[in-house]
C-alpha cells in the first residue's frame, strides 16, 4: 500500500500551553519529502530518502538551498494537550535530520528557511514578499492578530 506522507517525531514543546509532546505520530507532524512515503517515523539522526523536487511534494520554496540534501523546512504539528497548531523548523544535513525546533511567533528561526509546507495558510500564516506573517485569530472578536517576522533581516 502506498501512502502520501511520513512523520517527523520528537519531544516538542507547545508554544501555547508549554506541554511537551511524546516523540510519536500523535503530533501529526507529517512530511511529504520522502520518495517512498510509508507512514515511517523519523527523528533526529534519521536519514531520509529525499525526493529530488521538494516544491512538488507540497512545499513552497522561500530560499533556494545551495545543497539539495541540506536544507530546512517549516511544517506543522498539533499539541495533544491543548490541540493548538504549532510550527516546527526541521533541519537536514546531507539528508539526515539534525535539528527539530518548535516555532513560536516571537522566534526568529524563520529567517533563512528554505521551504514551508503549502498548508501554511490553513494555520494562519501568510507569505508577503520577504516576510512570513503568523496570524492568530481572536475567537471572541474574529479579529486577526498578526506577528511579522522579516526573512531578509539577519
Instruction: Give pLDDT tens digits for 24-76.
Output: 999 999 999 998 888 999 999 999 999 888 888 889 888 888 888 899 999 99
Instruction: Give pLDDT tens digits for 79-134.
Output: 999 998 899 999 999 999 999 988 865 455 566 788 989 888 777 776 655 455 44
Closest CA to 111 of 151, 53, 71: 151
Query: Are 44 and 93 spatial neighbours (Cβ–Cβ below 8 Å)?
Result: no
Cross-sheet strand order for the sheet of 6-8:
30-31, 6-8, 41-42
**Residue 68: CB atoms within 10 Å:** 12
Instruction: Give pLDDT tens digits for 135-154.
Output: 444 444 544 444 443 333 33
Query: Are 82 and 19 spatial neighbours (Cβ–Cβ below 8 Å)?
Result: yes
pTM, full prediction:
0.78
User: Is residue 1 over pLDDT 50?
Assistant: no
Say what the alpha-carbon torsion angle 26, 30, 36, 39 is, to the nearest 10 degrees: 10
Taking the C-alpha atoms of residue 41 and residue 30, their distance in angstroms, rounded to an integer, is 9
pLDDT value, residue 126: 64
Taking every pair of C-alpha atoms in the chain, what is the biggest distance, in angstroms? 46
Amino acid at each position: 500500500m502506498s501512502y502520501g506522507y511520513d512523520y517527523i517525531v520528537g519531544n516538542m514543546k507547545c508554544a501555547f500551553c508549554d506541554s511537551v509532546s511524546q516523540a510519536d505520530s500523535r503530533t501529526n507532524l507529517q512530511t511529504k519529502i520522502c520518495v517512498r512515503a510509508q507512514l515511517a517515523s523519523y527523528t533526529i539522526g534519521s536519514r531520509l530518502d529525499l525526493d529530488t523536487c521538494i516544491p512538488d511534494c507540497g512545499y513552497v520554496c522561500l530560499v533556494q538551498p545551495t545543497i539539495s540534501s541540506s536544507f530546512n523546512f517549516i511544517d506543522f504539528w498539533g499539541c495533544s494537550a491543548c490541540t493548538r497548531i504549532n510550527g516546527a523548523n526541521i533541519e537536514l544535513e546531507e539528508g539526515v535530520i539534525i535539528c527539530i525546533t518548535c516555532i513560536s511567533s516571537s522566534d526568529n528561526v524563520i529567517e533563512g528557511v528554505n521551504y514551508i509546507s503549502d498548508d501554511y495558510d490553513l494555520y494562519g500564516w501568510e507569505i508577503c514578499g520577504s516576510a512570513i506573517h503568523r496570524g492568530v485569530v481572536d475567537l471572541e472578536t474574529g479579529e486577526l492578530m498578526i506577528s511579522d517576522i522579516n526573512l531578509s533581516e539577519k
